[in-house]
Structure 1
Amino acid sequence: MLPGSIQITGESLSGAEIKDICDSLKENSVRLLSVRGCQLSDRDFGRVCRGVAESHSLAQLNLNLGVVSSIGRTKQLADALRANRSIQTLFLHGSPLLDAGLVALNTALSTHPSLVSLDLGDCMLGDEAVRLICGMLPPDGAKSGLRELTLSANPAISTNGWARLAVAVAHSSQLRVLNLDYNPLGDQIAGMLAVAVASSRSLEVLDLEGTGLTNQSAQIFLDMVENYPTCLRVLVLAENAISPELQQQISDLLSEGEEEDDKDGEAHGNAQSSREKIAWVPHSNSNTQVVLVTSGLGDSLLAETEL
């Protein structure tokens, strides 16, 4: 029997329900476990973590919206992740981790052999957390790292923290999707990110929705995609003070770039490129309009299904 999914949202979980979840994990019959926004006792959370540690089938774990509610739970999750070898996607969006939580999780996250997608949006993170996250984006030639990273709505991160992240993104050999929406970045940080995008040989999706940008930032991105080769395929600029004309110009240029890439791939019989495109695809939590929706990445089998 192929592994299935357990998806529960906003419920108070009983001991019997927790037992069923744990039994399924230990029997390797679960590929996706989501207890998003659910209430469970500390004891039951520990039981679930032990089940995660023993599972060989679990590929996606969704603990969004406050399930990891204390440093004690964070440490239990870290222990589970150190033992687990199968998780590819981890959602912790809306967990009050703080920098101390990232310190507790860092070793487990950075050494996990399968983890490629991590959502740390709205986790009350600061610069120390960003420093640790940068270690999960190793430079070219180093070990493999994250392919998708979400840091939405972490306003405590300073300009220095974002600058450090931009440097890591510029040199990361794996990162394809970066979601920074609803952070007060402003034009200065956007300029740093534009340099990072221009330097990156992997980044395909950048979400800057609601980040306080103006036409100044948009013009920099326009100049970049117009004059320099880039892997970028999707740029989200919604809910910023950017003119529709500039957004359309960027969209058109990105679209032209992808069409050229597709033609080159066909002309050279680029089978390897095709394999890479379908080997891993990112999740998407956004229902917003994007500047360009032609990433070719598709919808992930591991995508979060509960919004």
Structure 2
Amino acid sequence: MLPGSIQITGEALSCAEVKDICDSLKENSVRLLSVRGCQLSDRDFGRVCRGVAESHSLAQLNLNLGVVSTIGRTKHLADALKANRSIQTLFLHGSPLLDAGLVTLNGALSTHPSLVSLDLGDCMLGDEAIRIICGMLPPDGAKSGLKELTLSANPAISSQGWARLAVAVAHSSQLRVLNLDYNPLGDHIAGMLAVSVASSRTLEVLDLEGTGLTNQSAQIFLDMVENYPTSLRALVLAENDISPELQQQISDLLSEGEEEEEKDGEARGSSVTPREKPSWVPHSITGSKRLGQKGSTEIHISHALFKRDHLLFTK
């Protein structure tokens, strides 16, 4: 039987439920584990982490909305990630990690052999965390790194920190999706990110929703996609002080570029695709494992969900 999924949201987990989770992890019958916003004791959290450490099937782990709430839990998670070899996607959105928490996780995250997608939105990160994250975006010719990174709503990061990230993104040989929504970036940082997009050979999605941009930033992005080749497929500029006309122009140009690329791929033969398909676990997984009465028959996870997580966590 193919590994399934366990998804529980906003529940207080009993010892019996935690035991079921741990048994499933150790039996390698779980590909996705999501305990978003759940309450469990420190002892039970440690038990789940030991199950994660022993699992060979787990590919996606969702601990959003404050599940990793203390430095002690962060240490448990770091130990689990050091032992685990299978996780591709890790969601920690809404966890009060601070820079100290990311320092604790750094060794496990930077050396994990399979991790390619990481959500650190709403984690109260600062510039020290950015320094660590840049190490997970190695330049061309170096080891493989993250393909998808979410840093939504981390307002403590300074302009210097964002500039450092922009340089790392420009030289990253792997990154395809970058979500920076709901950070106070402004036009200056957006200009740096435009240079990063123009330099990157892999970045396909950039989310800048609600980041304090104006038409000045949008015009730079418009000039870039109009006059220079880029891998970018989607640029999210909603909830900024940008005219709908400029947003539509950028969207139309990106759509045209994707259509032309698809036609080129078809002309070269149906077996040739314009870009490599992502090898990490996609944000839509079907098939589940029942856990008491709280299991889900189908999992649909998207970045929109994590934007909602941001709203729930800050209320």
**Aligned-pair Cα RMSD in Å:** 1.7
Q: Would you say the 8 A contact 2:214–2:240 is kept in 1?
A: yes
Q: Would you say the 8 A contact 2:266–2:272 is kept in 1?
A: no
Equivalent-residue separation in structure 1 for 2:271 and 2:122 (angstroms) = 39
Q: Would you say the 8 A contact 1:32–1:302 is kept in 2?
A: no
1:123-166: CA deviations, max 9, x gaps?
00000000000000001111110000000000000000000000
For 1:168, the aligned partner's letter is A
1:200-259: CA deviations, max 9, x gaps?
000000000000000000000000001100000000000000001101110111111111
Q: Would you say the 8 A contact 1:150–1:180 is kept in 2?
A: yes
Equivalent-residue separation in structure 2 for 1:230 and 1:249 (angstroms) = 16
Change (3 A) 1:275 1:189: closer
Change (3 A) 1:270 1:116: farther
User: Match of 2:147?
Assistant: 147
Equivalent-residue separation in structure 2 for 1:275 and 1:260 (angstroms) = 13
State, as a whole percentage, how many aligned pairs show the same letter.
88
Higher relative contact order (CA 8 A, sep 6+): 2
5 Å-filtered alignment, 1:181-192, equals 181-192=181-192
Q: Give 1:281 deviation, angstroms.
A: 6.7
> Are 2:45 and 1:25 aligned?
no
Could you tell me which runs of 5 or more consecutive residues in structure 1 were left unpaired when the two chains were aligned: 285-300
User: Match of 2:240?
Assistant: 240
Could you tell me which runs of 5 or more consecutive residues in structure 2 were left unpaired when the two chains were aligned: 285-298, 309-315
Equivalent-residue separation in structure 2 for 1:149 and 1:227 (angstroms) = 27
Q: Would you say the 8 A contact 1:177–1:282 is kept in 2?
A: no
The number of residues matched between the two structures is 291
Q: Would you say the 8 A contact 2:265–2:272 is kept in 1?
A: no
Q: Give 1:303 deviation, angstroms.
A: 3.7
Q: Would you say the 8 A contact 1:89–1:302 is kept in 2?
A: no
5 Å-filtered alignment, 1:127-142, equals 127-142=127-142
Equivalent-residue separation in structure 2 for 1:281 and 1:42 (angstroms) = 28
Q: Would you say the 8 A contact 2:153–2:182 is kept in 1?
A: yes
Q: Secondary structure at the match of 2:277?
A: helix
Q: Would you say the 8 A contact 1:125–1:154 is kept in 2?
A: yes
Q: Give 1:275 deviation, angstroms.
A: 7.5
Q: Give 1:276 deviation, angstroms.
A: 1.8
User: Match of 2:176?
Assistant: 176
Equivalent-residue separation in structure 2 for 1:265 and 1:111 (angstroms) = 35
Q: Secondary structure at the match of 2:61?
A: strand
Equivalent-residue separation in structure 2 for 1:25 and 1:77 (angstroms) = 15
User: Match of 1:99?
Assistant: 99
1:99-134: CA deviations, max 9, x gaps?
000000011001101111000000000000000000
Q: Secondary structure at the match of 2:35?
A: strand
Change (3 A) 1:225 1:211: same
User: Match of 1:119?
Assistant: 119
Q: Give 1:88 deviation, angstroms.
A: 0.5
Change (3 A) 1:272 1:278: farther
User: Match of 1:293?
Assistant: none
Equivalent-residue separation in structure 2 for 1:235 and 1:72 (angstroms) = 38
The TM-score normalised by the length of structure 2 is: 0.89
5 Å-filtered alignment, 1:262-273, equals 262-269=262-269, 271-273=271-273
